[in-house]
């Protein structure tokens, strides 16, 4: 019999039961559901809404149920409507009528709002730790390669020399923002909704702050209607995780390119690559490809959540049950992706020689030649023009700028002297870009020190 069946004269149709039930996906919030109920029962006793003795029996029985769950002694009845009903049903089976007092001053609407907040807060902490682990690896790779010269690209065309360390630190910045966005999103999850009731709070004198403090919330929700119908924090998390995976997909794309024969900048470890069932020579970057591909479902989940919430009248509507599968899928996807991706990154080999060769072959020092002429007194526009002509000449001859003799160089501009060869060496090009945020060794080391401090603070915490 259903706990709400009083006013009904018929059982619900089987198709409705199947359609309505959420236990197959919301049972993962069972711990949060039980902890929330324990705090609620304890508060009911403390506020004399139920007797202290009944409260104690409820809390003790919930503790036993939790133990049984941890010891795998409970199987979730797939026919139960949802995890909230199922836990309450187990409680009533164990202690009868006293168990029926638990739901005093509470609705499943504020209960589910509580459970999802508790659950997502926990998951945000876990995911942040995983991203921090990835950042450790990115930072280590950057440190190993502060002097590894490679071409930087725009339009996927070789542009200017940078270092692989500088390139890696660009991703570090992105992942740092991801962790900051996670922290920020947790702030708005961190409000305790119990006491909102179904939508219009409750007539019982509940101590909401007590429950909030018991459950580790720093605040309570401020409006009972918003308290049960707000899912902004779910959408925010889906968005934060989508942005994170967008970063992962960009890095994946680069790894896929770099691992190709055409680039040959890196080689992925055998443990993080896969073979082809038909082509024996193949070694494929599946981890990076799948990470790139899974970014799509993250955006899908975000769209699902935005669409579910669109135009919903206040307060709770059953539509909102649809929030869970989407956000759980985003969480599961990210948690599966990060360890494989981090492992792939930490084991890949970097081919410094090919990176340097590509830098030289791509006229990535052309801007530096123009800068050289500008410093010698002509306008940058004219210097740009002269350098362009010189590059055109090199393309025709199949030579690099630094391979031209001084008198050939001088035929393009008399301002060019012997010191040009030093000025357009890739190392010079990189290390002269020594302003904060630049690719020069000193500048990158500065960001590495900052990054170390950022991570240290999180690790110490």
Among 33, 42, 82, 230, binds ligand ARG (CB under 6 A): 82
Note if 242 is an active site residue: no
Q: Shortest approach of ligand ARG to residue 215 CB, angstroms?
A: 18
Note if 155 is an active site residue: yes
For residues 84 and 145, which CB has a smaller minimum distance to ligand ARG in the complex? 84
Q: Shortest approach of ligand ARG to residue 17 CB, angstroms?
A: 13
The pattern of x and - marking residues 314 through 353 that bind ligand ARG according to CB under 6 A reads ----x-xx--------------------------------
For residues 328 and 363, which CB has a smaller minimum distance to ligand ARG in the complex? 328
Q: Does 228 bind ligand ARG (CB under 6 A)?
A: no
For residues 84 and 433, which CB has a smaller minimum distance to ligand ARG in the complex? 84
Q: Does 22 bind ligand ARG (CB under 6 A)?
A: yes
- List binders of ligand ARG among 96-135 (CB under 6 A): 108-109, 112
The pattern of x and - marking residues 165 through 204 that bind ligand ARG according to CB under 6 A reads ----------------------------------------
For residues 29 and 142, which CB has a smaller minimum distance to ligand ARG in the complex? 29
Q: Shortest approach of ligand ARG to residue 329 CB, angstroms?
A: 15
Residue tagged active-site, from 5, 51, 260, 276: 276
Residue tagged active-site, from 75, 155, 277, 311: 155
**How many residues in the shown chain lie near ligand ARG by CB under 6 A?**
10
How far apart, in whole angstroms, are the C-alpha atoms of residue 132 and residue 130? 5
Q: Shortest approach of ligand ARG to residue 271 CB, angstroms?
A: 40
Q: Does 229 bind ligand ARG (CB under 6 A)?
A: no
For residues 3 and 130, which CB has a smaller minimum distance to ligand ARG in the complex? 3
Q: Which residues are catalytic?
A: 155, 276
What does the binding site for ligand ARG look like in residue numbers (CB under 6 A)? Answer: 22, 26, 82, 84, 108-109, 112, 318, 320-321
């Amino acid at each position: 019999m259903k706990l709400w069946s009083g006013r009904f004269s018929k059982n619900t149709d089987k198709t409705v039961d199947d359609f309505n039930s959420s236990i197959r996906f919301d049972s993962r919030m069972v711990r949060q559901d039980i902890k929330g109920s324990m705090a609620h029962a304890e508060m009911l006793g403390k506020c004399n809404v139920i007797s202290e003795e009944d409260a104690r029996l409820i809390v003790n029985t919930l503790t036993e149920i939790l133990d049984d769950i941890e010891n795998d002694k409970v199987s979730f009845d797939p026919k139960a409507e949802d995890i909230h009903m199922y836990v309450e049903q187990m409680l009533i089976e164990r202690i009868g009528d006293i168990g029926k007092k638990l739901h005093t001053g509470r609705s499943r609407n504020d209960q589910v709002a509580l459970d999802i907040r508790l659950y997502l807060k926990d998951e945000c902490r876990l995911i942040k730790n995983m991203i921090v682990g990835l950042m450790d690896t990115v930072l280590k790779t950057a440190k190993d390669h502060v002097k590894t010269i490679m071409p930087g690209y725009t339009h996927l065309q070789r542009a200017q020399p940078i270092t692989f360390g500088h390139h890696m630190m660009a991703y570090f910045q992105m992942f740092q923002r991801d962790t900051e966005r996670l922290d920020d999103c947790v702030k708005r999850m961190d409000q305790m909704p119990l006491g909102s009731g179904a939508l219009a709070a409750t007539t019982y004198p509940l101590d909401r702050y007590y429950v909030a403090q018991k459950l580790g919330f720093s605040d309570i929700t401020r409006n009972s209607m918003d308290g049960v119908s707000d899912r902004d924090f779910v959408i925010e998390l889906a968005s934060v995780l989508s942005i994170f995976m967008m970063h992962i997909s960009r890095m994946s794309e680069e790894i896929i390119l770099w691992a190709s024969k055409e680039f040959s900048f890196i080689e992925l470890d055998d443990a993080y690559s896969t073979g082809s069932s038909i082509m024996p020579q193949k070694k494929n970057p599946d981890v990076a490809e799948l990470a790139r591909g899974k970014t799509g479902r993250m955006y899908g989940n975000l769209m699902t959540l935005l669409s579910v919430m669109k135009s919903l009248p206040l307060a709770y509507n059953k539509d909102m049950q649809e929030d869970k599968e989407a956000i759980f899928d985003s969480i599961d996807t990210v948690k599966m992706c990060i360890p494989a991706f981090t492992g792939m990154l930490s084991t890949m080999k970097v081919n410094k020689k090919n990176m340097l060769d590509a830098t030289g072959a791509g006229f990535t020092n052309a801007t530096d030649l123009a800068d050289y002429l500008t410093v010698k007194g002509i306008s940058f526009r004219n210097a740009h023009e002269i350098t362009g002509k010189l590059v055109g000449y090199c393309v025709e001859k199949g030579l690099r700028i630094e391979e031209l003799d001084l008198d050939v160089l001088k035929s393009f501009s008399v301002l060019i002297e012997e010191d040009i060869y030093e000025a357009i060496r890739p190392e010079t090009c990189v290390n002269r870009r020594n302003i904060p945020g630049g690719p020069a060794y000193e500048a990158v080391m500065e960001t590495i020190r900052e990054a170390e401090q950022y991570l240290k603070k999180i690790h110490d915490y």
